[in-house]
Amino acid sequence: MIKGCARNKRSAQKELYREFHGYCLSICMRYSETREDAVEVMNDGFLKVFTYIRSFDQQQPFKPWIRRIMINSALDHLKKYQMKMEHLEMEAGLRELVKETQLDTLHYDELLELIRRLPMAYRTVFNLYAIEGYKHEEIASMLNISAGTSKSNYHKAKKKLQLLLKDYLEINE
C-alpha cells in the first residue's frame, strides 16, 4: 500500500485513506473546534502524507509518522486561525477607535510613519510578527529574547499604535 502511494497509485492512496481515516480524524479532533475543521485539517494532512510518502523510511513504523504529520497539520491550522483572529481583533480595535471613513483615508505611507514612531523594540517585533508573519518563538530566537518578551512587545506595540492613530486622526475619547 505504501509503495503504491509512493508511485502515486490512486487505489493505494484510497486504501491508505480508508485504513487510517478514523485514526487521523481522532487526532485532528483533539485540536479542532468542530468536526468540519478536523476533517479539513485531516485532509490537509493526507495531502502532505501523499506528497512526502516517498521520504518515509519503510523500516520504521508508519503510524507514528502519519500521526506526526496530522499533529503538524493541526498546529499549522491553529497558527493560521490564530493569526487571522489576531488580525481581525486588531482591525476591530482600530475600527473602534476611528470612524471608518477616517481609517479608510489613511494612506500606507502615513501608517508606516506611525509604525516608525514606535519604540525600536516594539517596532521590530511588530514588523516581524504582524507584517512578516514570523512566530513569537522565531522572533525570540532572532532577537535573543524570550517568546514572552516578544508577545509582550507585540501587545504593547498594538496599544501604542492605537494611541498614535487616535492622536494622528485627532479623535477625542
Domain limits of the chain?
2-77, 98-168
H runs (alpha helix) in 33-61:
35-52
CATH entry 1.10.10.10 includes domain 98-168:
yes
Who contacts 8 (Cβ-Cβ below 8 Å, separation ≥6)? 50
pLDDT at 63 over 90: yes
Nearest one of 44, 63, 62 to 3, comparing CA atoms: 62
Backbone angles phi, psi at 9, to 5 degrees: -80, 120
pLDDT of residue 75: 81
pLDDT of residue 157: 92
Distances (CA, A) of 137 to 45, 54, 55, 88, 150: 23, 30, 27, 22, 8
Instruction: Work out the pLDDT band at 31, boundaries 50, 70, 90.
Output: confident
Overall pTM > 0.85: no
Identify the residue with better confidence: 27 or 81: 27
Cβ proximity of 150 and 129 under 8 Å: yes
pLDDT at 106 over 80: no
pLDDT tens by residue, 74-103:
888 877 776 666 666 666 665 555 544 455
Cβ proximity of 68 and 56 under 8 Å: no
Backbone angles phi, psi at 132, to 5 degrees: -85, -20
Classify domain 2-77 by CATH architecture.
Orthogonal Bundle (1.10)
